[in-house]
Amino acid sequence: MQQKEMQDGKPRSVSVIGASGYSGAELVRLLLRHPAVEIDTLYAFSQTGKRFSDLYPSVTCDREFLRYEGEAVSDIYFLALPHGEALTIVPELVRAGKQVIDLSGDFRLKSPDEHERFYRQVKPADAWMPYAMPELSRNDIASAEAVSNPGCYATSIILGLAPLFLGKDHSVKIKSVNCTAVSGLSGAGRTSKTELSFSEMSENMRAYKVGQHQHTPEIMQALGTSASSPSFDFIFTPMIGPFTRGIYSVLSISYEGEFCKDSADELYRNFYTDAPFVRVRGSMTEVRHVAMTNYCDIHIAHGPENGRLVIVSAIDNLLKGAAGQAIQNMNIMLGLEETLGLL
């Protein structure tokens, strides 16, 4: 591959903590082809001693997984750990002056109460880092040293709703949002659960955590309200379906007020005019349209009509929903072109 370099002539060094899971592996795949950074070390607790290519032979990377023991030598750290495990590691890395992108839910919620309620885990009151969804807060990310990468469902749903809540020049009031979203099974991680075996999930679908999924407060917070005291009626039904990659969200919205003719579509297109990875589409989107890409496709599937709007939003859960968005955030934090290494 071509010589990697930054403006100062030297690529930045990157390490991934939790590199053996599906999100971690996607990070490695993307970092290997990224022109401005170089992988330093891959850490993985349960797989220590194995090589990356033992688990993911399709990616050309023979590095050995090491056990992370507190060293802080790279310029940038990605953490793709099970929830709870980043809580102690991130502050150490931040103190050591490292740039940190955490893919877990540990630092996403400002409210420790909501965190405790949805993650069933206590966290310190200051365990919060800027919520790094570039389409909503590019500037904050650019100036941050450490950020929280959004959750997969949350990315799909927030991007599908944001123009209605955060967009300008419309006077519509959202009354309720009904959200159902089907995730591919890679969303459950690299796992050995019987109920996620091929024989159980082929030709199957299953809802879970209806009204209780931990991305609920994350979505509400990003839309400017809260799960404890929401400004609109919200219900989220997550499901898993028989595919590996992708999240397909149907957002059914009731509102008061009037959109001008075509203006919901315009509202969405204007809102995302500077967002290279959000595509507001004139026809129905599908999971295969976004699989293996960092795109979020949004289509206004019904309405606005009689106070009702149905938005369909599709992402690749491992890319725009995890590793791809993390690289996008890294690009912004490093002052690089937002799309670098992602097209």
| Candidate list 6, 72, 166, 188; residue touching a second copy; CB under 8 A | 188
| Candidate list 5, 50, 57, 258; residue touching a second copy; CB under 8 A | 57
314 or 332: whose CB is closer to a second copy? Answer: 314
Number of shown-chain residues binding a second copy (CB under 8 A): 74
Residue pair 280/272 in contact by the 8 Å Cβ criterion: yes
User: Cα–chain-centroid distance for residue 112?
Assistant: 21
Distance of alpha carbon 247 from alpha carbon 156, whole angstroms: 7
| Candidate list 13, 111, 137, 237; residue touching a second copy; CB under 8 A | 237
Smallest distance from a second copy to CB 140, Å = 27
Distance of alpha carbon 133 from alpha carbon 252, whole angstroms: 22
Distance of alpha carbon 277 from alpha carbon 46, whole angstroms: 34
* Using rule CB under 8 A, residue 233 touches a second copy: yes
Q: Up-side HSE of residue 1: CA atoms within 13 Å toward CB?
A: 12
Interface segment toward a second copy; rule CB under 8 A; list 11-19, 71-79, 154-162, 183-191: 183-191
Residue 183: name the closest of 251, 237, 103 by CA.
Answer: 237
* Using rule CB under 8 A, residue 191 touches a second copy: yes
Give the gyration radius of the chain's Cα atoms. 20
* Using rule CB under 8 A, residue 343 touches a second copy: yes
* Using rule CB under 8 A, residue 100 touches a second copy: no
* Using rule CB under 8 A, residue 242 touches a second copy: yes
Question: Does residue 61 carry a catalytic annotation?
Answer: no
Interface segment toward a second copy; rule CB under 8 A; list 152-160, 166-174, 217-225, 305-313: 305-313
Exposed/middle/buried for residue 25 (C-beta within 10 Å: 0-12, 13-18, 19+): buried
Residues 278-297 interacting with a second copy (rule: CB under 8 A)? 281, 284-293, 295, 297
Interface segment toward a second copy; rule CB under 8 A; list 85-93, 122-130, 180-188, 265-273: 180-188
Q: Active-site residue among 61, 152, 179, 296? A: 152
Residue 16: name the closest of 130, 131, 127, 100 by CA.
Answer: 100
Distance of alpha carbon 240 from alpha carbon 196, whole angstroms: 10
| Candidate list 49, 210, 228, 256; residue touching a second copy; CB under 8 A | 210
What residues are annotated to the active site?
A: 152
